Structure 1
Amino acid sequence: MAKTLQKFSGRVLLVGCGNMAGAMLDRWLAEGLDPAQVAIVDPFAVPREGIAHFASLADWIGQDGGAEWVMLGMKPQQLGDVASDLAPVVRGDTHLLSILAGVSLADLSARFPDARAQVRILPNLAARIGAGVSAVASLGDADDAAVTSLLKPLGTVVALADDGTMDLVTAFTGSGPAFVFRLIESYAAAGERLGLSADDALRLATATFGGSTALLDGSGEKPGVLVAQVASKGGTTQAGLDVLDEGGQLVALMTNVLRAARDRGRELADIARGGN
Protein backbone atom coordinates (compact mmCIF):
# COMPACT_ATOMS: atom_id res chain seq x y z
CA MET A 1 0.00 0.00 0.00
CA ALA A 2 1.36 3.44 -0.98
CA LYS A 3 2.23 5.76 1.85
CA THR A 4 0.31 9.01 1.76
CA LEU A 5 3.25 11.43 2.05
CA GLN A 6 5.73 9.80 -0.33
CA LYS A 7 5.00 12.50 -2.93
CA PHE A 8 4.71 15.44 -0.55
CA SER A 9 6.78 18.31 -1.93
CA GLY A 10 8.60 21.10 -0.16
CA ARG A 11 11.05 21.38 2.70
CA VAL A 12 9.70 21.21 6.24
CA LEU A 13 11.17 23.01 9.26
CA LEU A 14 10.06 22.24 12.81
CA VAL A 15 10.89 24.99 15.29
CA GLY A 16 10.54 23.02 18.50
CA CYS A 17 10.06 19.26 18.45
CA GLY A 18 8.69 18.18 21.81
CA ASN A 19 6.00 15.61 22.53
CA MET A 20 3.28 16.93 20.23
CA ALA A 21 5.38 18.12 17.31
CA GLY A 22 7.46 14.96 17.62
CA ALA A 23 4.36 12.77 17.48
CA MET A 24 3.24 14.55 14.31
CA LEU A 25 6.67 14.23 12.72
CA ASP A 26 6.98 10.55 13.55
CA ARG A 27 3.60 9.89 11.98
CA TRP A 28 4.59 11.85 8.86
CA LEU A 29 7.81 9.86 8.55
CA ALA A 30 5.85 6.62 8.94
CA GLU A 31 3.61 7.77 6.10
CA GLY A 32 6.53 8.30 3.75
CA LEU A 33 7.75 11.85 4.28
CA ASP A 34 11.40 11.90 3.21
CA PRO A 35 13.65 12.70 6.21
CA ALA A 36 15.91 14.64 3.83
CA GLN A 37 13.06 17.16 3.42
CA VAL A 38 12.95 17.89 7.15
CA ALA A 39 14.99 20.05 9.50
CA ILE A 40 14.52 20.48 13.25
CA VAL A 41 15.55 23.48 15.33
CA ASP A 42 15.48 22.35 18.95
CA PRO A 43 18.54 21.82 21.17
CA PHE A 44 16.69 19.17 23.19
CA ALA A 45 14.91 17.21 20.45
CA VAL A 46 15.45 13.47 20.10
CA PRO A 47 17.70 12.87 17.06
CA ARG A 48 15.97 11.21 14.11
CA GLU A 49 17.90 9.39 11.41
CA GLY A 50 18.33 11.36 8.21
CA ILE A 51 16.95 14.62 9.59
CA ALA A 52 19.10 17.73 9.89
CA HIS A 53 19.14 18.92 13.50
CA PHE A 54 20.07 22.44 14.57
CA ALA A 55 20.50 23.89 18.05
CA SER A 56 19.31 27.37 17.06
CA LEU A 57 17.58 29.26 14.28
CA ALA A 58 20.82 31.11 13.62
CA ASP A 59 22.54 27.78 12.89
CA TRP A 60 19.73 26.72 10.55
CA ILE A 61 19.66 30.06 8.74
CA GLY A 62 23.43 29.97 8.32
CA GLN A 63 23.49 26.45 6.85
CA ASP A 64 20.09 26.20 5.16
CA GLY A 65 17.61 28.98 5.78
CA GLY A 66 14.84 27.86 3.45
CA ALA A 67 11.60 25.93 3.89
CA GLU A 68 8.20 25.99 2.22
CA TRP A 69 6.60 24.58 5.37
CA VAL A 70 7.52 25.98 8.80
CA MET A 71 5.81 24.61 11.90
CA LEU A 72 6.04 26.33 15.26
CA GLY A 73 6.07 23.73 18.01
CA MET A 74 7.92 25.45 20.84
CA LYS A 75 6.37 27.04 23.95
CA PRO A 76 4.02 29.96 23.18
CA GLN A 77 6.06 32.18 25.50
CA GLN A 78 8.99 31.84 23.08
CA LEU A 79 7.11 33.28 20.11
CA GLY A 80 8.61 36.77 20.35
CA ASP A 81 12.20 35.56 20.33
CA VAL A 82 11.55 33.01 17.59
CA ALA A 83 9.71 35.48 15.36
CA SER A 84 12.49 38.05 15.51
CA ASP A 85 14.92 35.51 14.03
CA LEU A 86 12.53 33.57 11.81
CA ALA A 87 10.31 36.24 10.24
CA PRO A 88 13.01 37.62 7.90
CA VAL A 89 13.37 34.22 6.19
CA VAL A 90 9.66 33.41 5.98
CA ARG A 91 8.91 34.14 2.34
CA GLY A 92 5.89 34.42 0.09
CA ASP A 93 6.01 30.70 -0.69
CA THR A 94 6.07 29.65 2.97
CA HIS A 95 3.16 28.13 4.85
CA LEU A 96 3.56 29.13 8.50
CA LEU A 97 1.99 26.37 10.60
CA SER A 98 1.45 26.75 14.33
CA ILE A 99 0.43 24.34 17.08
CA LEU A 100 0.98 26.98 19.77
CA ALA A 101 -1.79 27.13 22.37
CA GLY A 102 -3.49 30.51 22.55
CA VAL A 103 -1.61 32.11 19.65
CA SER A 104 -4.23 33.36 17.19
CA LEU A 105 -4.08 33.68 13.43
CA ALA A 106 -4.01 37.44 13.88
CA ASP A 107 -0.96 37.07 16.12
CA LEU A 108 0.75 34.89 13.53
CA SER A 109 -0.10 37.29 10.71
CA ALA A 110 1.35 40.20 12.65
CA ARG A 111 4.56 38.27 13.40
CA PHE A 112 4.95 36.70 9.95
CA PRO A 113 3.27 39.06 7.48
CA ASP A 114 5.21 37.82 4.45
CA ALA A 115 4.12 34.17 4.74
CA ARG A 116 1.96 32.78 1.95
CA ALA A 117 -0.48 31.61 4.64
CA GLN A 118 -0.74 31.34 8.38
CA VAL A 119 -2.27 28.03 9.45
CA ARG A 120 -3.31 27.30 13.01
CA ILE A 121 -3.50 23.60 13.87
CA LEU A 122 -4.67 22.05 17.12
CA PRO A 123 -3.78 18.35 17.13
CA ASN A 124 -3.68 15.89 20.00
CA LEU A 125 -1.27 13.19 21.06
CA ALA A 126 -3.20 10.32 19.45
CA ALA A 127 -1.81 11.69 16.18
CA ARG A 128 1.15 9.46 17.00
CA ILE A 129 -0.90 6.42 15.93
CA GLY A 130 -3.08 8.15 13.34
CA ALA A 131 -6.07 8.35 15.69
CA GLY A 132 -5.85 11.99 16.68
CA VAL A 133 -8.07 15.00 16.08
CA SER A 134 -6.73 18.11 14.34
CA ALA A 135 -8.73 21.33 14.17
CA VAL A 136 -7.42 23.74 11.54
CA ALA A 137 -8.06 27.32 10.45
CA SER A 138 -6.03 29.56 8.17
CA LEU A 139 -5.40 33.04 6.80
CA GLY A 140 -3.93 33.91 3.43
CA ASP A 141 -3.51 31.80 0.33
CA ALA A 142 -3.27 28.38 1.95
CA ASP A 143 -2.87 25.30 -0.22
CA ASP A 144 -5.76 23.51 1.45
CA ALA A 145 -5.13 20.22 -0.35
CA ALA A 146 -1.49 20.14 0.78
CA VAL A 147 -2.40 21.12 4.35
CA THR A 148 -5.01 18.36 4.43
CA SER A 149 -2.51 15.85 3.07
CA LEU A 150 -0.28 16.61 6.08
CA LEU A 151 -3.11 16.36 8.60
CA LYS A 152 -5.07 13.34 7.39
CA PRO A 153 -2.38 10.82 8.40
CA LEU A 154 -2.75 12.15 11.95
CA GLY A 155 -6.45 11.20 12.20
CA THR A 156 -9.68 13.17 12.00
CA VAL A 157 -9.43 16.67 10.51
CA VAL A 158 -11.96 19.37 11.47
CA ALA A 159 -11.74 22.53 9.36
CA LEU A 160 -12.97 25.67 11.15
CA ALA A 161 -14.17 28.80 9.37
CA ASP A 162 -11.99 30.89 11.69
CA ASP A 163 -10.05 30.44 14.91
CA GLY A 164 -12.55 32.11 17.22
CA THR A 165 -13.20 28.88 19.12
CA MET A 166 -9.64 27.59 19.06
CA ASP A 167 -8.94 28.29 22.74
CA LEU A 168 -11.84 26.02 23.66
CA VAL A 169 -10.82 23.44 21.06
CA THR A 170 -7.31 23.46 22.55
CA ALA A 171 -8.80 22.50 25.91
CA PHE A 172 -11.38 20.13 24.44
CA THR A 173 -9.33 18.00 22.06
CA GLY A 174 -5.73 19.12 22.53
CA SER A 175 -5.73 18.67 26.30
CA GLY A 176 -8.48 16.07 26.14
CA PRO A 177 -6.31 12.94 26.01
CA ALA A 178 -4.68 13.90 29.32
CA PHE A 179 -8.12 14.28 30.90
CA VAL A 180 -9.19 10.88 29.55
CA PHE A 181 -5.97 9.28 30.80
CA ARG A 182 -6.61 10.78 34.24
CA LEU A 183 -10.17 9.43 34.23
CA ILE A 184 -8.87 5.96 33.36
CA GLU A 185 -6.22 6.25 36.05
CA SER A 186 -8.83 7.30 38.61
CA TYR A 187 -11.21 4.52 37.54
CA ALA A 188 -8.42 1.99 38.00
CA ALA A 189 -7.47 3.50 41.36
CA ALA A 190 -11.07 3.14 42.54
CA GLY A 191 -11.08 -0.51 41.49
CA GLU A 192 -7.85 -1.07 43.37
CA ARG A 193 -9.24 0.68 46.45
CA LEU A 194 -12.21 -1.71 46.39
CA GLY A 195 -10.11 -4.85 46.11
CA LEU A 196 -8.65 -5.40 42.63
CA SER A 197 -4.91 -5.70 42.12
CA ALA A 198 -3.27 -2.62 40.60
CA ASP A 199 -2.40 -4.48 37.38
CA ASP A 200 -5.86 -5.99 36.94
CA ALA A 201 -7.57 -2.70 37.70
CA LEU A 202 -5.55 -0.82 35.07
CA ARG A 203 -6.00 -3.52 32.43
CA LEU A 204 -9.74 -3.70 33.03
CA ALA A 205 -10.11 0.08 33.08
CA THR A 206 -8.14 0.53 29.86
CA ALA A 207 -10.12 -2.18 28.07
CA THR A 208 -13.43 -0.83 29.35
CA PHE A 209 -12.77 2.72 28.18
CA GLY A 210 -11.28 1.56 24.88
CA GLY A 211 -14.11 -0.83 24.08
CA SER A 212 -16.75 1.69 25.07
CA THR A 213 -15.38 4.47 22.86
CA ALA A 214 -14.94 2.04 19.95
CA LEU A 215 -18.56 0.92 20.34
CA LEU A 216 -19.78 4.52 20.47
CA ASP A 217 -17.75 5.44 17.40
CA GLY A 218 -18.94 2.45 15.40
CA SER A 219 -22.59 2.38 16.46
CA GLY A 220 -23.75 5.77 15.22
CA GLU A 221 -25.78 6.09 18.42
CA LYS A 222 -25.83 8.91 20.95
CA PRO A 223 -24.08 8.10 24.25
CA GLY A 224 -27.37 8.19 26.13
CA VAL A 225 -28.84 5.45 23.94
CA LEU A 226 -25.94 3.16 24.79
CA VAL A 227 -26.18 4.06 28.47
CA ALA A 228 -29.78 2.86 28.39
CA GLN A 229 -28.70 -0.41 26.77
CA VAL A 230 -26.30 -1.12 29.64
CA ALA A 231 -28.40 0.14 32.55
CA SER A 232 -31.62 -1.42 33.77
CA LYS A 233 -34.00 0.10 36.28
CA GLY A 234 -32.97 -0.77 39.81
CA GLY A 235 -29.82 -2.58 38.64
CA THR A 236 -26.15 -2.24 39.47
CA THR A 237 -25.34 0.12 36.61
CA GLN A 238 -28.18 2.47 37.53
CA ALA A 239 -26.95 2.56 41.12
CA GLY A 240 -23.59 3.84 39.91
CA LEU A 241 -25.17 6.26 37.44
CA ASP A 242 -27.24 7.76 40.22
CA VAL A 243 -24.00 8.76 41.95
CA LEU A 244 -22.44 10.14 38.75
CA ASP A 245 -25.55 12.11 37.82
CA GLU A 246 -26.38 13.54 41.25
CA GLY A 247 -26.82 17.29 41.03
CA GLY A 248 -25.22 17.45 37.59
CA GLN A 249 -21.87 17.23 39.36
CA LEU A 250 -20.04 15.39 36.59
CA VAL A 251 -20.96 17.92 33.89
CA ALA A 252 -20.11 20.73 36.29
CA LEU A 253 -16.72 19.18 37.00
CA MET A 254 -15.87 18.74 33.32
CA THR A 255 -17.04 22.28 32.57
CA ASN A 256 -14.65 23.60 35.21
CA VAL A 257 -11.83 21.46 33.83
CA LEU A 258 -12.32 22.78 30.29
CA ARG A 259 -12.77 26.35 31.46
CA ALA A 260 -9.49 26.25 33.38
CA ALA A 261 -7.60 24.85 30.38
CA ARG A 262 -9.23 27.33 27.98
CA ASP A 263 -8.47 30.30 30.22
CA ARG A 264 -4.85 29.23 30.63
CA GLY A 265 -4.57 29.19 26.84
CA ARG A 266 -5.72 32.79 26.77
CA GLU A 267 -3.19 33.70 29.46
CA LEU A 268 -0.42 32.10 27.40
CA ALA A 269 -1.55 34.10 24.38
CA ASP A 270 -1.24 37.33 26.38
CA ILE A 271 2.28 36.34 27.41
CA ALA A 272 3.18 35.53 23.80
CA ARG A 273 1.98 39.00 22.77
CA GLY A 274 4.18 40.56 25.44
CA GLY A 275 1.44 41.18 27.99
CA ASN A 276 1.49 40.33 31.65
Structure 2
Amino acid sequence: MTKALQNFPDRFLLVGCGNMAGAMLDRWLAAGLDPAQVAVVDPFAAPRAGIVQHATLGEWQAAGGSADWIMLGMKPQQLGDIAEILAPLATGQVHLLSILAGVSLVDLAARFPDAGAQVRILPNLAARVGAGVSAVATFGDADDAAIDALLGTLGKMVRLADDSTMDLVTAFTGSGPAFVFRLIESYAAAGERLGLSAEDSLALATATFGGATALLADSGEKPGVLIAQVASKGGTTQAGLDVLDSDGQLAALLTNVLRAARDRGRELADIARGEG
Protein backbone atom coordinates (compact mmCIF):
# COMPACT_ATOMS: atom_id res chain seq x y z
CA MET A 1 0.00 0.00 0.00
CA THR A 2 1.08 3.61 -0.47
CA LYS A 3 2.81 5.21 2.50
CA ALA A 4 0.29 8.03 2.75
CA LEU A 5 1.27 8.86 6.34
CA GLN A 6 5.03 8.58 5.92
CA ASN A 7 5.54 12.32 6.41
CA PHE A 8 2.75 12.88 8.92
CA PRO A 9 4.49 15.22 11.38
CA ASP A 10 2.36 15.10 14.52
CA ARG A 11 2.47 13.10 17.74
CA PHE A 12 -0.33 10.70 18.71
CA LEU A 13 -1.67 9.46 22.00
CA LEU A 14 -4.15 6.57 22.02
CA VAL A 15 -6.08 6.22 25.27
CA GLY A 16 -7.32 2.67 24.95
CA CYS A 17 -6.14 0.42 22.16
CA GLY A 18 -8.53 -2.51 21.91
CA ASN A 19 -9.85 -4.18 18.77
CA MET A 20 -11.12 -1.11 16.94
CA ALA A 21 -8.50 1.42 17.97
CA GLY A 22 -5.85 -1.24 17.44
CA ALA A 23 -7.09 -1.94 13.91
CA MET A 24 -6.89 1.77 13.11
CA LEU A 25 -3.41 2.07 14.58
CA ASP A 26 -2.11 -0.97 12.71
CA ARG A 27 -3.43 0.44 9.44
CA TRP A 28 -1.84 3.83 10.12
CA LEU A 29 1.48 2.19 10.87
CA ALA A 30 1.23 0.18 7.64
CA ALA A 31 0.56 3.49 5.85
CA GLY A 32 3.84 4.89 7.11
CA LEU A 33 3.05 6.57 10.43
CA ASP A 34 6.26 6.63 12.46
CA PRO A 35 5.79 4.45 15.59
CA ALA A 36 8.15 6.78 17.46
CA GLN A 37 5.43 9.45 17.19
CA VAL A 38 2.84 7.26 18.91
CA ALA A 39 2.19 6.49 22.57
CA VAL A 40 -0.46 4.12 23.89
CA VAL A 41 -2.09 4.21 27.32
CA ASP A 42 -3.60 0.78 27.82
CA PRO A 43 -2.20 -1.89 30.14
CA PHE A 44 -3.76 -4.68 28.08
CA ALA A 45 -2.95 -3.58 24.52
CA ALA A 46 -0.94 -5.89 22.29
CA PRO A 47 2.66 -4.59 22.06
CA ARG A 48 3.70 -2.99 18.79
CA ALA A 49 7.28 -2.50 17.68
CA GLY A 50 8.59 0.99 18.33
CA ILE A 51 5.55 2.22 20.26
CA VAL A 52 5.89 3.19 23.90
CA GLN A 53 3.09 1.77 26.00
CA HIS A 54 1.94 3.05 29.39
CA ALA A 55 -0.42 1.53 31.93
CA THR A 56 -1.94 4.85 32.99
CA LEU A 57 -2.21 8.48 31.90
CA GLY A 58 -0.25 9.43 35.00
CA GLU A 59 2.62 7.23 33.87
CA TRP A 60 2.52 8.83 30.42
CA GLN A 61 2.56 12.32 31.95
CA ALA A 62 5.44 11.43 34.25
CA ALA A 63 7.41 10.33 31.19
CA GLY A 64 6.97 13.83 29.72
CA GLY A 65 4.32 12.81 27.25
CA SER A 66 2.69 15.31 24.91
CA ALA A 67 0.54 14.90 21.82
CA ASP A 68 -0.98 16.82 18.94
CA TRP A 69 -3.71 14.22 18.40
CA ILE A 70 -5.40 12.35 21.25
CA MET A 71 -7.71 9.48 20.39
CA LEU A 72 -10.18 8.07 22.89
CA GLY A 73 -10.60 4.35 22.33
CA MET A 74 -11.55 3.08 25.77
CA LYS A 75 -15.06 2.19 27.01
CA PRO A 76 -17.53 5.12 27.04
CA GLN A 77 -18.22 4.49 30.71
CA GLN A 78 -14.62 5.50 31.48
CA LEU A 79 -14.94 8.95 29.91
CA GLY A 80 -15.56 10.86 33.15
CA ASP A 81 -12.45 9.61 34.91
CA ILE A 82 -10.27 9.94 31.81
CA ALA A 83 -11.49 13.45 30.95
CA GLU A 84 -10.66 14.77 34.40
CA ILE A 85 -7.00 13.90 33.86
CA LEU A 86 -6.79 14.52 30.13
CA ALA A 87 -8.72 17.80 29.68
CA PRO A 88 -5.85 20.04 30.91
CA LEU A 89 -3.59 18.42 28.30
CA ALA A 90 -6.04 18.72 25.39
CA THR A 91 -5.56 22.43 24.74
CA GLY A 92 -4.44 24.78 21.99
CA GLN A 93 -4.33 23.05 18.62
CA VAL A 94 -4.69 19.53 20.02
CA HIS A 95 -7.27 17.47 18.13
CA LEU A 96 -9.41 15.27 20.34
CA LEU A 97 -10.57 12.22 18.38
CA SER A 98 -13.24 9.93 19.76
CA ILE A 99 -14.51 6.54 18.62
CA LEU A 100 -16.65 6.18 21.75
CA ALA A 101 -20.15 4.90 21.03
CA GLY A 102 -22.87 7.28 22.14
CA VAL A 103 -20.58 10.16 23.15
CA SER A 104 -21.66 13.23 21.16
CA LEU A 105 -19.66 16.25 20.01
CA VAL A 106 -21.55 18.28 22.61
CA ASP A 107 -20.36 15.84 25.29
CA LEU A 108 -16.78 16.04 24.01
CA ALA A 109 -16.83 19.85 23.89
CA ALA A 110 -18.12 19.95 27.46
CA ARG A 111 -15.40 17.56 28.66
CA PHE A 112 -12.57 19.05 26.58
CA PRO A 113 -13.51 22.71 26.08
CA ASP A 114 -10.00 23.92 25.31
CA ALA A 115 -9.15 21.42 22.58
CA GLY A 116 -8.51 22.88 19.15
CA ALA A 117 -11.10 20.53 17.66
CA GLN A 118 -13.33 17.70 18.71
CA VAL A 119 -13.64 14.97 16.10
CA ARG A 120 -16.16 12.16 16.41
CA ILE A 121 -15.32 9.14 14.27
CA LEU A 122 -17.38 6.06 13.69
CA PRO A 123 -15.11 3.47 12.01
CA ASN A 124 -15.60 -0.25 11.59
CA LEU A 125 -13.33 -3.25 11.89
CA ALA A 126 -12.71 -3.61 8.14
CA ALA A 127 -10.39 -0.61 8.60
CA ARG A 128 -7.82 -3.26 9.53
CA VAL A 129 -7.48 -4.13 5.83
CA GLY A 130 -8.24 -0.68 4.41
CA ALA A 131 -11.80 -1.64 3.50
CA GLY A 132 -13.60 0.09 6.36
CA VAL A 133 -16.20 2.82 6.48
CA SER A 134 -15.59 5.83 8.70
CA ALA A 135 -18.27 8.42 9.38
CA VAL A 136 -16.87 11.64 10.81
CA ALA A 137 -18.28 14.83 12.30
CA THR A 138 -16.20 17.70 13.68
CA PHE A 139 -16.48 20.69 15.95
CA GLY A 140 -13.95 23.49 16.24
CA ASP A 141 -10.96 24.32 14.08
CA ALA A 142 -10.39 20.88 12.59
CA ASP A 143 -7.53 20.12 10.23
CA ASP A 144 -9.63 18.60 7.46
CA ALA A 145 -6.66 17.66 5.26
CA ALA A 146 -5.02 15.70 8.09
CA ILE A 147 -8.31 14.01 8.97
CA ASP A 148 -8.76 13.04 5.31
CA ALA A 149 -5.26 11.56 5.27
CA LEU A 150 -5.80 9.56 8.45
CA LEU A 151 -9.25 8.22 7.64
CA GLY A 152 -8.58 7.76 3.94
CA THR A 153 -6.07 5.02 4.77
CA LEU A 154 -8.82 3.10 6.58
CA GLY A 155 -11.19 2.88 3.59
CA LYS A 156 -14.19 4.97 2.62
CA MET A 157 -14.82 8.14 4.62
CA VAL A 158 -18.21 9.87 4.90
CA ARG A 159 -18.37 13.38 6.34
CA LEU A 160 -21.54 14.19 8.26
CA ALA A 161 -22.81 17.75 8.63
CA ASP A 162 -23.28 17.04 12.34
CA ASP A 163 -23.42 13.99 14.58
CA SER A 164 -27.19 13.87 15.09
CA THR A 165 -27.45 10.58 13.18
CA MET A 166 -24.29 9.04 14.62
CA ASP A 167 -26.11 6.63 16.95
CA LEU A 168 -27.80 5.12 13.91
CA VAL A 169 -24.53 5.12 11.93
CA THR A 170 -22.90 3.37 14.89
CA ALA A 171 -25.47 0.59 14.56
CA PHE A 172 -25.47 0.62 10.76
CA THR A 173 -21.78 0.60 9.85
CA GLY A 174 -19.95 0.27 13.16
CA SER A 175 -21.86 -2.78 14.34
CA GLY A 176 -22.65 -3.80 10.76
CA PRO A 177 -19.66 -6.09 10.15
CA ALA A 178 -20.68 -8.25 13.11
CA PHE A 179 -24.20 -8.54 11.69
CA VAL A 180 -22.79 -9.53 8.30
CA PHE A 181 -20.47 -12.07 9.92
CA ARG A 182 -23.49 -13.53 11.72
CA LEU A 183 -25.40 -13.77 8.44
CA ILE A 184 -22.46 -15.56 6.82
CA GLU A 185 -22.15 -17.86 9.80
CA SER A 186 -25.87 -18.68 9.66
CA TYR A 187 -25.77 -19.15 5.87
CA ALA A 188 -22.88 -21.58 6.26
CA ALA A 189 -24.69 -23.40 9.07
CA ALA A 190 -27.72 -23.81 6.80
CA GLY A 191 -25.54 -25.32 4.09
CA GLU A 192 -24.06 -27.70 6.61
CA ARG A 193 -27.51 -28.76 7.84
CA LEU A 194 -28.49 -29.56 4.25
CA GLY A 195 -25.46 -31.74 3.58
CA LEU A 196 -22.30 -29.71 2.93
CA SER A 197 -19.23 -30.22 5.10
CA ALA A 198 -18.62 -27.46 7.64
CA GLU A 199 -15.37 -26.47 5.90
CA ASP A 200 -16.88 -26.35 2.40
CA SER A 201 -19.99 -24.56 3.57
CA LEU A 202 -18.07 -21.75 5.27
CA ALA A 203 -15.67 -21.35 2.33
CA LEU A 204 -18.54 -21.16 -0.15
CA ALA A 205 -20.54 -18.77 2.04
CA THR A 206 -17.58 -16.45 2.53
CA ALA A 207 -16.81 -16.38 -1.18
CA THR A 208 -20.47 -15.89 -2.11
CA PHE A 209 -20.97 -12.91 0.20
CA GLY A 210 -17.59 -11.43 -0.72
CA GLY A 211 -18.17 -11.80 -4.44
CA ALA A 212 -21.70 -10.39 -4.26
CA THR A 213 -20.64 -7.27 -2.35
CA ALA A 214 -17.64 -6.75 -4.64
CA LEU A 215 -19.91 -7.00 -7.70
CA LEU A 216 -22.41 -4.58 -6.19
CA ALA A 217 -19.68 -2.03 -5.41
CA ASP A 218 -18.04 -2.39 -8.82
CA SER A 219 -21.20 -2.34 -10.94
CA GLY A 220 -22.75 0.84 -9.61
CA GLU A 221 -26.14 -0.86 -9.94
CA LYS A 222 -28.82 -1.01 -7.28
CA PRO A 223 -29.23 -4.39 -5.57
CA GLY A 224 -32.61 -5.00 -7.21
CA VAL A 225 -31.07 -4.81 -10.68
CA LEU A 226 -28.51 -7.46 -9.82
CA ILE A 227 -31.14 -9.63 -8.13
CA ALA A 228 -33.10 -9.60 -11.38
CA GLN A 229 -29.98 -10.71 -13.27
CA VAL A 230 -29.63 -13.78 -11.01
CA ALA A 231 -33.28 -14.72 -10.53
CA SER A 232 -35.55 -16.01 -13.27
CA LYS A 233 -39.30 -16.49 -12.97
CA GLY A 234 -40.09 -19.89 -11.50
CA GLY A 235 -36.40 -20.71 -10.98
CA THR A 236 -34.38 -21.83 -7.99
CA THR A 237 -33.31 -18.32 -6.97
CA GLN A 238 -36.85 -17.02 -7.03
CA ALA A 239 -37.98 -19.93 -4.84
CA GLY A 240 -35.46 -18.88 -2.20
CA LEU A 241 -36.31 -15.19 -2.57
CA ASP A 242 -39.97 -15.98 -1.98
CA VAL A 243 -39.01 -17.31 1.45
CA LEU A 244 -36.75 -14.32 2.24
CA ASP A 245 -39.42 -11.84 1.17
CA SER A 246 -42.35 -13.54 2.89
CA ASP A 247 -44.45 -11.03 4.85
CA GLY A 248 -41.57 -8.55 4.97
CA GLN A 249 -40.03 -10.56 7.79
CA LEU A 250 -36.41 -10.00 6.73
CA ALA A 251 -36.80 -6.21 6.52
CA ALA A 252 -38.60 -6.19 9.87
CA LEU A 253 -35.90 -8.33 11.49
CA LEU A 254 -33.06 -6.10 10.27
CA THR A 255 -34.94 -2.98 11.34
CA ASN A 256 -35.28 -4.44 14.83
CA VAL A 257 -31.58 -5.35 14.87
CA LEU A 258 -30.55 -1.80 13.98
CA ARG A 259 -33.06 -0.27 16.39
CA ALA A 260 -31.71 -2.33 19.29
CA ALA A 261 -28.09 -1.37 18.51
CA ARG A 262 -29.01 2.32 18.02
CA ASP A 263 -30.95 2.45 21.29
CA ARG A 264 -28.08 0.83 23.17
CA GLY A 265 -25.83 3.58 21.83
CA ARG A 266 -28.16 6.15 23.33
CA GLU A 267 -28.10 4.32 26.66
CA LEU A 268 -24.30 4.35 26.60
CA ALA A 269 -24.40 8.10 25.98
CA ASP A 270 -26.53 8.57 29.10
CA ILE A 271 -24.09 6.43 31.11
CA ALA A 272 -21.12 8.45 29.82
CA ARG A 273 -22.86 11.65 30.94
CA GLY A 274 -23.55 10.12 34.32
CA GLU A 275 -27.27 9.93 33.68
CA GLY A 276 -27.62 6.15 33.38
Does residue 262 of the first structure (1) align with residue 275 of the second (2)? no
Query: Corresponding residue for 2:131?
Result: 131
Task: Please show how residues 152-167 of structure 1 align to structure 2 within 5 Å.
Answer: 152-167=152-167
Does residue 146 of the first structure (1) align with residue 146 of the second (2)? yes
Query: Corresponding residue for 2:14?
Result: 14
SS of equivalent to 2:153: helix
- Native 8 Å contact 1:65 1:89 kept in 2: no
Query: Corresponding residue for 1:224?
Result: 224
Pairwise CA distance, 1:62:
1.2
Whole-angstrom distance in 2 between the partners of 1:269 and 1:61: 28
Please, what TM-score do these two structures have when normalized by structure 1? 0.99
User: What per-residue deviation string (whole Å, max 9, x for no partner) do you get for residues 202-251 of structure 1?
Assistant: 00000000000000000110000000000000011000000000011000
SS of equivalent to 2:74: coil
Q: Residue type matched to 2:154 in 1?
A: L
Higher mean Cα deviation, 84-93 or 171-180? Answer: 84-93
Whole-angstrom distance in 2 between the partners of 1:257 and 1:2: 37
Alpha carbons of 1:255 and 1:2: their partners in 2 closer, same or farther (altered >3 Å)?
closer
Query: Corresponding residue for 1:274?
Result: 274
SS of equivalent to 1:150: helix
Q: Residue type matched to 1:205 in 2?
A: A
Q: Number of paired residues?
A: 276
Please, what TM-score do these two structures have when normalized by structure 2? 0.99
SS of equivalent to 2:48: coil
- Native 8 Å contact 1:70 1:97 kept in 2: yes
Does residue 26 of the first structure (1) align with residue 26 of the second (2)? yes
Q: Following TM superposition, where does structure 1 have runs of at least 4 consecutive aligned residues deviating by more than 2 angstroms? A: none
Whole-angstrom distance in 1 between the partners of 2:128 and 2:195: 34
SS of equivalent to 1:156: strand
Whole-angstrom distance in 2 between the partners of 1:34 and 1:111: 29
Q: Residue type matched to 2:113 in 1?
A: P
Unmatched 5+ stretches in structure 2: none
SS of equivalent to 1:126: helix
Whole-angstrom distance in 1 between the partners of 2:31 and 2:211: 27
Does residue 73 of the first structure (1) align with residue 73 of the second (2)? yes
Whole-angstrom distance in 2 between the partners of 1:229 and 1:2: 37
Pairwise CA distance, 1:91:
1.3
Query: Corresponding residue for 2:111?
Result: 111
Whole-angstrom distance in 1 between the partners of 2:24 and 2:143: 19
Pairwise CA distance, 1:2:
4.8
Q: Residue type matched to 2:14 in 1?
A: L
Whole-angstrom distance in 1 between the partners of 2:146 and 2:206: 36
Percentage of identical aligned residues: 79
Whole-angstrom distance in 2 between the partners of 1:101 and 1:93: 24
Whole-angstrom distance in 2 between the partners of 1:77 and 1:250: 33
Whole-angstrom distance in 2 between the partners of 1:142 and 1:88: 19
Pairwise CA distance, 1:171:
0.3
Query: Corresponding residue for 1:249?
Result: 249
Whole-angstrom distance in 2 between the partners of 1:111 and 1:92: 15
Pairwise CA distance, 1:9:
1.3
Pairwise CA distance, 1:35:
0.2
